[in-house]
């Protein structure tokens, strides 16, 4: 194994944590590979002493975004029809009609969808995107880079970013094999696969079957089951901060037990501050009964809003906010980049909390890696910021259908049930829930989870050798 040049394409910052801040690079080097990051992020990998080729002034074709939006909506329409399931409509986002420019784009989008709302139409749109992206400067620059560098394989860290299309097209046109990583456990039902590649790296057999279902043109031999590197940090003791140091750094009380609340983004959970408030009230009530509890609040890494401020101020004795180590480089959400130290931060929060509570977050798997249970809120607030939003719709999303029949979480169906849930956890009445959560984790992510990077490198080696 090894002695091959591998390009790791970072079309945006999403792949930094999995493939730059993890042991992925070191492991690949140990196998003898020459690894070059093809870097379109605003983070300079020279800080980590990693070889990189910066992609400068990358832009997609002006029409690609419209065709991408059409592609997503048509896929969702077809999935809805095939499955006879209206949940796919919930994945659609309305395009803005404000202003003349957006109004024209919206009309064009509706026309494209109307003319291509079929499997054949979907294929026409896919080919059209390829034609458009081959006209871009990004495509021609990518051709030159690949001709000069001659990599043996190009691996894209994210399947849903338009800026990854042109570089992979260039690689394909030069006969260089390509692969892309399916970034998240909920991405495939949402029709977010924007990038076409020769090979697809997925978390699990479950995700492999999803990929074959949603994209029947993909052959089984093209899919590699690897797991995801995002959970590897929880099995690396070097990532874990010593408890006393962690508590002192964040002004925590070493004698308290803490419940972690992890926030979602403003679209996924607009009423998150209200759920945090409900949790804080439950903690107050428990403390009046002789408990000594606090809350560790970790907001969503891309949420820099002030929507929690009034709750944090009202319950300052109960809540300690520990913000994710993510940095916004511009106002755009996809330029909010993780810092290397966030791995240690999240791992330590999970280790030193009694449990995590949230609304349907995948952090259940971060915490079960530390043998800590999760509670999901499952009730609507009486006064909602968005009356069209419904928490019960969230739990009907397709990725939750992977959940075992035996509950892997504590369901909290009213504010009253929060207190009882916490008491059960503190009384060690959570073994069954944690066992079910572990089974869910094993279903959606290939185990052992700490070997994901190794499996990716072995798969890449097999692909190169077979070619």
Instruction: Give, in order, the Cα–Cα distances in Å from 372 to each of 294, 299, 310, 442.
Output: 16, 19, 29, 15
Environment class of 216 (CB within 10 Å of its CB; exposed 0-12, middle 13-18, buried 19+): exposed
Cα separation, 205 vs 220, in Å, equals 11
CB 180, CB 159: distance < 8 Å: yes
Query: Mind listing the pLDDT tens digit for each residue in 269-290?
Result: 999 999 999 999 999 999 999 9
pLDDT of residue 97: 80
User: What pLDDT band is residue 13 in, cutting at 50, 70 and 90?
Assistant: confident
Phi then psi for residue 348, to 5 deg, are -70, -40
> Which residues partner with 293 through β-bridges?
257
Query: Mind listing the pLDDT tens digit for each residue in 207-264?
Result: 999 999 999 999 999 999 999 999 999 999 999 999 999 999 999 999 999 999 999 9
**Cα dihedral across residues 46, 48, 52, 57: positive or negative:** negative
For the ranges 135-144, 145-154, 327-336, 416-425, which has the lowest average pLDDT?
Answer: 327-336
Q: What is the mean pLDDT of the chain?
A: 95
pLDDT of residue 330: 63
State which H helix or E strand residue 295 sits in: strand 293-298
pLDDT of residue 99: 86
> Which residues partner with 201 through β-bridges?
181, 224
pLDDT of residue 332: 64
Q: Please check the confidence at residue 463 and state whether its pLDDT lies above 90.
A: yes
> Coil, helix or strand for 216?
coil
> Coil, helix or strand for 244?
helix
Instruction: Name the percent of the chain lying above pLDDT 90.
Output: 90
pLDDT of residue 337: 87
Q: How does DSSP assign 398-450, residue by residue? A: GGGGGS-SS-SSEEE-SHHHHHHHHHHHHTT--HHHHHHHHHHHHHHS-SSGG
Phi then psi for residue 243, to 5 deg, are -55, -50
Phi then psi for residue 32, to 5 deg, are 90, 10
> Coil, helix or strand for 178?
strand
Structure tokens at 355: 């449990």
Q: How does DSSP assign 320-344, residue by residue? A: EE---SEEESSSSGGGEEE-TTHHH
Cα separation, 361 vs 185, in Å, equals 11
CB 263, CB 299: distance < 8 Å: yes
Mean pLDDT for the stretch of residues 363-381: 98
Q: Which residues make Cβ contacts (< 8 Å) with residue 309, sequence separation at least 6?
A: none
Produce one character per residue of 376-389: b if its CB has 16 or more CB atoms within 10 Å, e if not: bbbbebeeeeeeeb
Instruction: Please count the residues of the chain.
Output: 467
Mean pLDDT for the stretch of residues 315-341: 85
Q: Please check the confidence at residue 334 and state whether its pLDDT lies above 70.
A: no
Q: Please check the confidence at residue 157 and state whether its pLDDT lies above 90.
A: yes
Mean pLDDT for the stretch of residues 165-179: 98
CB 152, CB 179: distance < 8 Å: no
pLDDT of residue 87: 97
Q: Please check the confidence at residue 331 and state whether its pLDDT lies above 80.
A: no
Mean pLDDT for the stretch of residues 55-69: 97
Structure tokens at 390: 């419904």
């Amino acid at each position: 194994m090894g002695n091959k040049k591998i390009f790791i394409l970072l079309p945006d910052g999403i792949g930094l944590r999995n493939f730059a801040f993890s042991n992925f690079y070191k492991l690949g080097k140990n196998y003898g590979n020459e690894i070059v990051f093809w870097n379109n992020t605003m983070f300079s990998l020279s800080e980590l002493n990693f070889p990189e080729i910066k992609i400068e002034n990358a832009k997609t074709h002006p029409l690609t975004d419209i065709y991408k939006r059409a592609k997503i909506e048509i896929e969702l329409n077809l999935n809805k029809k095939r499955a006879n399931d209206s949940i796919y409509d919930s994945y659609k986002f309305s395009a803005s009609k404000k202003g003349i420019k957006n109004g024209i784009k919206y009309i064009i989008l509706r026309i494209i969808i109307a003319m291509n709302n079929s499997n054949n139409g979907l294929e026409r749109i896919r080919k059209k995107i390829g034609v458009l992206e081959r006209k871009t400067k990004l495509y021609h620059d990518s051709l030159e880079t690949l001709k000069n560098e001659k990599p043996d394989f190009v691996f894209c860290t994210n399947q849903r970013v338009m800026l990854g299309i042109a570089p992979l097209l260039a690689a394909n046109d030069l006969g260089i094999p390509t692969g892309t990583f399916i970034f998240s456990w909920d991405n495939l039902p949402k029709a977010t696969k924007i990038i076409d590649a020769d090979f697809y790296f997925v978390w699990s057999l479950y995700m492999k079957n999803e990929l074959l279902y949603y994209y029947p043109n993909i052959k089984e031999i093209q899919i590699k089951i690897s797991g995801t590197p995002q959970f590897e940090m929880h099995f690396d003791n070097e990532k874990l901060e010593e408890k006393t140091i962690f508590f002192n750094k964040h002004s925590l009380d070493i004698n308290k037990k803490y419940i972690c609340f992890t926030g979602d983004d403003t679209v996924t959970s607009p009423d998150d501050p209200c759920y945090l408030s409900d949790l804080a009230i439950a903690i107050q009530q428990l403390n009046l009964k002789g408990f000594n509890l606090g809350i560790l609040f970790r907001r969503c890494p891309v949420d820099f809003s002030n929507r929690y401020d009034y709750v944090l101020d009202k319950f300052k004795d109960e809540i300690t906010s520990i913000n994710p180590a993510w940095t916004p480089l511009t106002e755009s959400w996809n330029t909010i980049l993780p810092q290397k130290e966030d791995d240690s931060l999240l791992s330590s929060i999970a280790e030193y909390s009694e449990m995590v509570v949230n609304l349907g977050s995948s952090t259940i798997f971060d915490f079960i890696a530390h043998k800590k249970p999760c509670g999901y809120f499952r009730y609507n607030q009486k006064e909602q910021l968005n009356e069209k939003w419904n928490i019960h719709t969230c739990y009907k999303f397709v990725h939750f259908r992977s959940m075992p029949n035996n509950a892997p979480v504590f369901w909290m169906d009213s504010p009253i049930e929060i207190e009882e849930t916490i008491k059960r956890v503190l009384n060690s009445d959570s073994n069954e829930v944690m066992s079910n959560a572990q089974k869910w984790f094993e279903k959606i992510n290939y185990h052992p989870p700490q070997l994901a990077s190794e499996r990716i490198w072995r798969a890449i080696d097999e692909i190169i050798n077979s070619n």
